[in-house]
Amino acid sequence: MNKNLPVDQFNAFIQCGQPYIAGETNKPLSNFSFGIKDIFDVAGFPTAFGSPDWLNTHPVATQTAPAVLDLVQQGATLVGKTHTDELTYSILGINAHYGTPTNPNYPNRIPGGSSSGSAVSVAGKLVDFAIGSDTGGSVRTPASFCGIYGMRPTHGRISLKNARPLAKSFDTLGWFARDPEILFEVGKTLLKEEHKSNTQAIEVIAPKQAWEIVPDGLRRLALKRVQEIFIRNNVVNKDDSLYYWLFDTKVDKIKLTEYKNVSSLDSTKVIE
């Protein structure tokens, strides 16, 4: 029994083999606690995968998932594992064997799944953030249902080693937080590198037909903002040639523009 487990009035945490790993001190995440969806291995503890049959037919884990180790090494303290839909096969958050976690913000509604316990543990203020997985919406759905932030990064961006799969070509590690600053800090640890502002994009495609169905005022405002973003974010090196869509908000057509130097509009050449 994990004596450090928060008082769980929402049934967010599993009760079989609760791990506790104290985070390292004087690290970026040292003041934060977190839970992990019960698909991630922690050495010395079982992974139930939301299923009593799975629990009874699989050995105790001998390795800890790298993503969990990364968070602990950056100071976050693991306080337990959270409920999931059985074998993660649902987005409702319902588990017939272990009970459905209670949505803290909307108790009469389902929490969403399959990362139900992780979302509920965050929404219920039991932990600062939590780790889940997203195959077809299993982070995004419970985040929206519980009224918190949820992040699903690019597929394959974060290791899912020592985690139970649902569909490997879609499974993606994601995380939850109530505070966007915490969401950001956790992301820096899991993603392991800063966003590169000097992105070498090839083109951005915006089908003309899609914009034609948008009301004129809204279209002009949206295209103006897109234009400002491209110009503000110097997306090419000084000597690079980059093609992308530039939207002329003064006329109702889209021009493909070549920028020799994105910082100078005088150097543009319109390709008809």
Contacts of 246 (CB under 8 A, 6+ apart): 227, 230, 254, 255, 256, 257, 268
Q: What is the SS3 assignment for 33?
A: strand
Cβ pair 254, 209 in contact under 8 A: no
Chain centroid to Cα 8, Å, comes to 24
The token pair that represents 77 in the structure block: 């303290």
Three-class secondary structure assignment of 176-192:
EECCHHHHHHHHHHHHC
Q: From the candidates 33, 51, 90, 114, give the one annotated as an active-site residue.
A: 114
138 assigned to active site: yes
- 17-62 pLDDT, tens digit per residue, is 889 999 999 999 999 999 999 999 999 999 999 999 999 999 999 9
Question: Binning pLDDT at 50, 70 and 90, where does residue 258 land?
Answer: very low
37 assigned to active site: yes
Give exposure, 240-251, as e/b (b: 16+ Cβ within 10 Å): eebebbbbeeee
Q: Rounded CA gap, 254 and 262, in Å?
A: 18
- 192-241 pLDDT, tens digit per residue, is 865 555 545 445 556 667 767 878 888 777 777 766 666 555 543 334 43
Parallel, antiparallel or unpaired: strands 253-259 and 242-248 = antiparallel
Q: From the candidates 33, 37, 51, 118, give the one annotated as an active-site residue.
A: 37
Q: From the candidates 33, 115, 121, 138, give the one annotated as an active-site residue.
A: 138
Q: Rounded CA gap, 128 and 31, in Å?
A: 9
Question: Binning pLDDT at 50, 70 and 90, where does residue 250 land?
Answer: very low
Q: Rounded CA gap, 102 and 83, in Å?
A: 11
Cβ pair 180, 121 in contact under 8 A: no
- 64-107 pLDDT, tens digit per residue, is 999 999 999 999 999 999 999 999 999 999 999 999 999 999 99
